Every structure is written in C-alpha cells, then in structure tokens.
Amino acid sequence: MKISFIQPSRNNLKYLKWSYEAIRKNQGDHTVQICVADDASTDDTWEWCQERMKNDEHFSAILNDTGKRQGHTILYDRLVNEVAEHDVCMIYHADMYLCPGALDSIEKHLTEKTIVSLTRIEPPLHPPGPEKVLRDFGVEPEEFNEQGLLSEVEELKVLHENDPGTTEGIFAPWAFWKSDFQEIGGHDPLYAPQSKEDSDIFNRFHLNGIKFIQTWEGFVYHMTCRGSRRNTADKATSIYQDSPEWLEQNNRSTRNFIRKWGHFVAHDTLMKPIVPPKYDIGFKINGGNSQLLEALEPWCSTILLDDEMQVITTHYLDKEQKNTIIDLSKKIKSTPFETLENEIIVTIDSKKFTQQDFSLIQQLTQIIQDSGSVGEFQIGNLHLKINKMTEYQKDLIVCR
C-alpha cells in the first residue's frame, strides 16, 4: 500500500520527532510519504523539516511563514491537495506512535467508499470510552514505555482475534481515499484554526455514503492534545489543563457548528456520527435584549426581534461577527420593518423565556421531527408554527 500521512505541526517538535521515528520503524513494507505542515512554529520545526527532506525522499513539508497560526483545519487540506502523492491519505497527529502491523490492518479494510480508523491506546487524561483503550505508557516521549505498549498490543490482538475485528467509529487517525475527501470539498474553513472541523467533515462523509470502519487489529499510542490544546510549549500550563486559546476557539467553533447544523455534535457510543434533520427555522422574539440574542442566534436560520433603532443588533454584530465567516447581518432582522418567511417559526416572549425554554431550543430539531406534520402547538413558553418540514442537511455535504 502507498499512503500519505497528513501531519500539521505547531510548536511540538519533540512529539513530531518521536512520531516520525515510530512511523519509519513500524511502516512494514508499505510506502509511506510523511507530509508535514509547519504552522508558524518557533521551536525549530522548519529547520528539522528541511533536514528530513534532504535525507528522506518520502518526507515532504510546507511552511506557513506568515507568523500567524492557520490551524490544522486549513493545513490538513493544503497537505492533501498540494503535497500528498498517493491516492490514500491518513489524518495523523504528531503525538501518535504507529504500532507494528497498523498499516496492514488499514490495507485489509480500506475498500471503495470507506474510511478506516486505527484504535487509540491512550493514557488516562480523558474519560474512558468503548472506542479506545486506556493504558498509561507515558505522557511524554522521554518517559515512553515502548516495550510495555508493544506487549499490550499483542494481547489486544489476541483478545479480538475471534471478534468481527471492526466497529463503525471514526476519529483520528483516519485513513481515506483522497478522491472521497476532495469530492466533498475537504474541511470547512468555518472552524479555522481548529475544533469541530472533524465532527463537521465526519457528518458530511456520512451523508455522502462513506462507510466507517474502526479496526481493532491496528493501533496507535496517542499522548493526546499536544497539537495545541494541552501543548506546554504553546500556552498550555500543563498536559492536564486546556489552554485559554483552545477554550476560546472551541467555544467559537461550537457556536459555528450549531449555526451550520442546528444541533450539538452527535454520535453513538462508538463514535459513529448521528446527523439529525436540518430545518429552516425562524425565531420571532417579542421584546429581546443582547443576552437573549447571543443565546438564541446560533440556533436558527433567521431571527426577528424588536430592535427598531438597531441598537441591540449593531452591538451584537460588533461583538460576534469576528468569530464567524457566516454573514450574521443577513440572519438578524428587526420589527416593524421586516418579517419572517421561514418554513418553521418559533415565537418567543422574552419576558417569559426560561432556562427550561432554552433547553427546549437545544432539542428543537428532535421536537420538530417528532411532531411528524405541519401545524401549530405550544411547548413550554415557545409557540411553534410548522408550515413545511423540508430537510436540508444533505445540502451541507459539499464545502464550497
């Protein structure tokens, strides 16, 4: 098999070196091109990349020399579209150790219209889940227990030898056909520099008929979050605490995910995406204030409020527009000059709106789906008028 590993890197050179050595040691008889994007690092990553390119014909790298972070949402796609030489690529993190036989398992399961994820073995820095294995073989390269990991991998292979050997989750590292990636337009820059871009593209792959396979015969050891979220060389105070930069960006990306899809990220227990319907929903707010506008705006297609002088709207746009590439001015309307023409209209009395009503807003897609037909009804303090129930989620498959 010929495969291109896709690895953006920002100020995590010691992990990148560790990852590189493991790939070269354990790639077997496969041809592996390692594609690295240095995202304006200040830790000599680019100098190391230049040295690798001189000495390794299957190592390629590009540099973001703007001095400003672009993020892996952008650089994944640059590497796939500009650098990767092979039809099969794999999104791969710099803090991952490729275990022996992992690429054999990918080759075994990667057929037409499939994506194959390797099973992660991780130290217990995050809650457990049925899609991964929690084992502590070190949280830094200098303390990595390689022999302990390799023994564990052999035991896991024996444990699963009588299983079907696969489940249907998707997460990094994931191997894919470049053509399937390009068919849907790659990652959405809405989420740049990072966070939620993976959940978005997984939804779109799922809607486009891609089959997800997680192999329990191929493994990586994943130290987790060293790209930026908990990278102590890049503003994180420790590997046990998220950086302020990541927390702020995760909040922005969460709001953008809701704007696009109409719901929070959803998946089953084994990480297969769940994609509820996307409806055309308008909110009509009687009264209103900046706090309510901020809370409700991401959850609808259009929002109409009592703001004749545009004071609330202008203040909100000044604060929020910088956090999204979606033109918010086109979705916020004011009475008495404008009306709603959405297929579903939710009327909200700002004086009666409660936290329970906000919980209903977050479940609105399911409530509309369960209603089953057009009509009007009251739930909590919300009045719903359903004129049509057209579903638009498939319009989101291709990122243009």
Extract the tokens encoding 96.
């991952």
Task: Choose the final residue of a domain: 261, 289, 318.
Answer: 261
129 lies in some domain: yes
Task: Choose the final residue of a domain: 261, 289, 321.
Answer: 261
Extract the tokens encoding 315.
């203040």
| Predicted TM-score of the model (pTM) | 0.96
pLDDT at position 29 is 98
299 lies in some domain: yes
**CA gap 204, 395 in Å, rounded:** 10
Q: How far apart are the first and last CA of the chain?
A: 31
* Same domain? 254 vs 306: no
* Same domain? 189 vs 328: no
271 lies in some domain: no
In tens, the pLDDT along 123-168 reads: 999 999 999 999 999 999 999 999 999 999 999 988 877 777 899 9
- Note whether 261 and 393 are within 8 A (CB): yes
* Same domain? 241 vs 315: no
110 lies in some domain: yes
* Same domain? 330 vs 253: no
pLDDT at position 242 is 87
The pairs formed by 197-202 with CB atoms below 8 angstroms and a separation of 24 or more are: 197/72, 197/73, 197/76, 197/253, 198/171, 198/172, 199/257, 199/265, 199/267, 199/273, 200/257, 200/260, 200/261, 202/170, 202/267, 202/273
* Same domain? 206 vs 327: no
* Same domain? 205 vs 289: no
327 lies in some domain: yes
Task: Choose the final residue of a domain: 211, 229, 261.
Answer: 261
Mark the ranges of the chain whose per-residue pLDDT is less than 70: none
pLDDT at position 200 is 98
Q: Which DSSP helix (H) or strand (E) runs through 368?
A: helix 364-371
**CA gap 378, 121 in Å, rounded:** 48
384 lies in some domain: yes
- Note whether 298 and 262 are within 8 A (CB): no
Phi/psi for 290 (5° steps) reads -60, -40
**CA gap 274, 242 in Å, rounded:** 27
- Note whether 79 and 37 are within 8 A (CB): yes
* Same domain? 388 vs 311: yes
pLDDT at position 231 is 82
Q: Which residues contact 370 (CB under 8 A, 6 or more apart)?
A: none
Q: Which residues pair with 334 in a beta bridge?
A: 305
* Same domain? 257 vs 300: no
* Same domain? 158 vs 289: no
pLDDT at position 240 is 82
| Cis bond before residue 276 (omega within 30° of 0) | no
* Same domain? 126 vs 199: yes
131 lies in some domain: yes
Extract the tokens encoding 111.
């057929």
Number of domains in the chain: 2
**CA gap 353, 296 in Å, rounded:** 11
The gap from C-alpha 103 to its chain's centroid, in whole angstroms, comes to: 23
Q: Which residues contact 121 (CB under 8 A, 6 or more apart)?
A: 99, 132, 133, 134, 135, 137, 149, 152, 153, 156, 219, 220, 221, 222
pLDDT at position 398 is 98
The gap from C-alpha 106 to its chain's centroid, in whole angstroms, comes to: 22
Cα torsion angle, 219, 225, 228, 234, sign: negative
* Same domain? 256 vs 382: no
**CA gap 387, 312 in Å, rounded:** 29
What is the span of the domain harbouring residue 297? 281-396
For the chain, give percent helix, strand, coil, nearest 5: 35, 25, 40
pLDDT at position 232 is 79
268 lies in some domain: no
* Same domain? 230 vs 94: yes
CATH code at 194?
3.90.550.10
